[in-house]
């Protein structure tokens, strides 16, 4: 504990006989429980016009960043807030009557004791803030009119990310699991949070833009990206430390980052069709045809259309099994073995996305050799449209009536989720659901919401 005040707030049910409570100065630690460290974060950037013209620009930059370390779990859990679990049962009294072992208003046992039942968390006193490097190089070129293109290389490298391992994991063995095989037999899970995980991200991005003129605004970007990490399922920053699969082999968690599909395309646009009063075509309907022209202009003229189209390649996922403990380490799920030379995607369909015969449950005393996120799910695309038309009202300056619609998934194309990846499931390899992975994506069928706005 950092000080006496903290020691006084230790939960009275904390098993001090097995895990003694000590002050920081009693064990040679600073009162903040961690050794301080100074982090230097340099930044550098440049912009260069090789021809002296503003039509061509080369930009680049490099910067380093660090995060905060708070570890809220140490303040709210651990010795200050614990969870007790008891198995209740009926006991027989001397007179033959039966009653529950624990009942209200006193549901807890008279003696405190959690031998072989404790789960504890340890944070290394040498823990440091993660270190992130970010760099980029961009070429920008103005084309004809208001068109411009930008091509960029972006890189990111994160080192010393937080990760968690169960230090009370026994070694792999063909011998059945027993509590005595644990390094600390009187405890259950001993989660250790430390530095060491990392990830990297490389991307090539090309963006085509058209600033708003002549009724068109366009921003379209294509990204080819590649990212790997061993910090799956967490950010690796602050107390959000992902747990590795096997405490003695962090390298086996290195694999594709499921957050980034290989290819990504996003386009946003705003278009005012050049039809109707004040526009390029049919701009004099009212003057030529009078009232009939006004009606026709109200139907076909003055419309605007905005929208977004996004498309991506498939998301990564991992083949798994459940309900078995082949490593005999009390771990009843994990990654499968992959059969060498097997065609994983043969005969691919919605009901058979991956070949079941290519995967097996690991042999006794081993863990699966399948890499994390080594499989690819179905690609997806979606189109969102927002047409609208405004009618001037004239009772006040700028007053107008806007009629429009928000149309989600205009093409009514499903975005399929990854297939069931558990080989012990009857649905293995089958796609049974749809998913949304970004705010612009809509998983359901086409949906249209008609809107009416009074603007004044």
Least confident of 73-77, 231-235, 366-370: 73-77
**pTM, two decimal places:** 0.81
The SS3 assignment for 442 reads: coil
pLDDT at residue number 140: 96
pLDDT at residue number 445: 83
Give the dihedral of Cα atoms 225, 229, 235, 236; nearest 10 deg: -150
Percent of the chain with pLDDT over 70: 86
Least confident of 28-32, 115-119, 256-260, 352-356: 115-119
Residues 6 or more apart from 391 whose CB is under 8 A from it?
Answer: 298, 400, 401, 402, 403
pLDDT at residue number 186: 80
| Average pLDDT of the chain to the nearest whole number | 86
80-117 tens-digit pLDDT: 877 766 677 888 888 889 988 777 877 766 554 444 46
432-450 tens-digit pLDDT: 888 755 555 556 788 999 9
Phi (first) and psi of residue 349, to 5 degrees: -155, 175
pLDDT at residue number 77: 63
* Structure tokens belonging to residue 177: 């699991």
392-417 tens-digit pLDDT: 777 777 788 889 999 999 999 888 99
Least confident of 56-65, 112-121, 163-172: 112-121
308-332 tens-digit pLDDT: 999 999 999 999 999 999 999 999 9
- β-strand pairing of 263-271 with 216-229: antiparallel
230-288 tens-digit pLDDT: 988 765 455 578 889 999 999 999 999 988 999 999 999 999 888 776 666 766 766 66
Cβ-based burial of 106 (10 A; exposed 0-12, middle 13-18, buried ≥19)? exposed
Q: For residue 330, what are the CA distances in angstroms to 42, 86, 212, 257? A: 46, 21, 61, 27
Q: Could you tell me which residue, 362 or 188, shows the higher pLDDT?
A: 362
Residues 6 or more apart from 374 whose CB is under 8 A from it?
Answer: 255, 256, 316, 318, 319, 338
Least confident of 61-65, 107-111, 192-196: 107-111
Categorize the per-residue pLDDT at 360 as very low, low, confident or very high, splitting at 50, 70 and 90: very high
């Amino acid at each position: 504990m950092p000080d006496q005040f903290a020691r006084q707030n230790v939960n009275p049910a904390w098993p001090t006989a097995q895990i003694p409570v000590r002050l920081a100065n009693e064990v040679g630690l600073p009162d903040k429980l961690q050794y301080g460290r100074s982090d230097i974060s340099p930044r550098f950037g440049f912009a260069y016009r090789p021809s002296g013209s503003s039509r061509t620009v080369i930009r680049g930059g490099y910067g380093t960043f660090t995060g905060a370390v708070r570890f809220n779990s140490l303040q709210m859990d651990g010795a200050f807030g614990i969870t007790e679990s008891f198995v209740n049962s009926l006991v027989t009294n001397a007179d033959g009557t039966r009653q529950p072992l624990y009942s209200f208003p006193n549901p807890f046992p008279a003696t405190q004791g959690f031998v072989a039942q404790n789960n504890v968390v340890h944070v290394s006193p040498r823990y440091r803030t993660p270190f992130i490097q970010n760099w980029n190089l961009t070429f920008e070129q103005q084309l004809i009119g208001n068109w411009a293109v930008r091509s960029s290389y972006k890189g990111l490298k994160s080192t010393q990310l937080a990760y968690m391992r169960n230090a009370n994991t026994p070694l792999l063995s063909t011998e059945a699991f027993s509590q005595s095989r644990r390094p600390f037999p009187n405890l259950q899970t001993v989660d250790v949070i430390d530095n060491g995980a990392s990830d990297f991200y490389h991307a090539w991005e090309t963006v085509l833009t058209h600033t708003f003129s002549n009724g068109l605004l366009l921003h379209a970007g294509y990204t080819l990206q590649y990212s790997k990490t061993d910090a799956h399922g967490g950010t690796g920053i602050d107390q959000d430390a992902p747990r590795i699969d096997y405490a003695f082999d962090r390298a086996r968690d290195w694999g594709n980052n499921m957050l980034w599909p290989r290819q990504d395309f996003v386009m946003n646009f705003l278009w005012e069709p050049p039809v109707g009063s004040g526009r390029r075509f049919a701009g004099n309907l009212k003057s030529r045809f009078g009232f009939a022209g006004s009606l026709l202009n109200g139907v076909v003229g003055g419309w605007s259309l905005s929208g977004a189209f996004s498309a991506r390649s498939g998301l990564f996922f991992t083949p798994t099994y459940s309900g078995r403990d082949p490593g005999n380490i009390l771990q009843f799920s994990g990654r499968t073995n992959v059969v060498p030379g097997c065609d994983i995607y043969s005969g691919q369909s919605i009901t058979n996305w991956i070949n079941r015969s290519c995967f097996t449950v690991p042999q006794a005393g081993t863990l699966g050799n399948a890499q994390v996120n080594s499989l690819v799910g179905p690609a997806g695309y979606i189109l969102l449209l927002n047409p609208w038309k405004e009618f001037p009202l004239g009772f006040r300056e700028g007053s107008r009536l806007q009629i429009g619609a928000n149309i989600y998934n205009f093409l009514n194309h499903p975005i399929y989720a990854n297939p069931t990846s558990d080989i012990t499931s009857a649905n293995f390899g089958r796609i049974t659901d749809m998913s949304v992975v970004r705010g612009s994506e809509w998983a359901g069928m086409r949906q249209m919401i008609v809107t009416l706005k009074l603007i004044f």
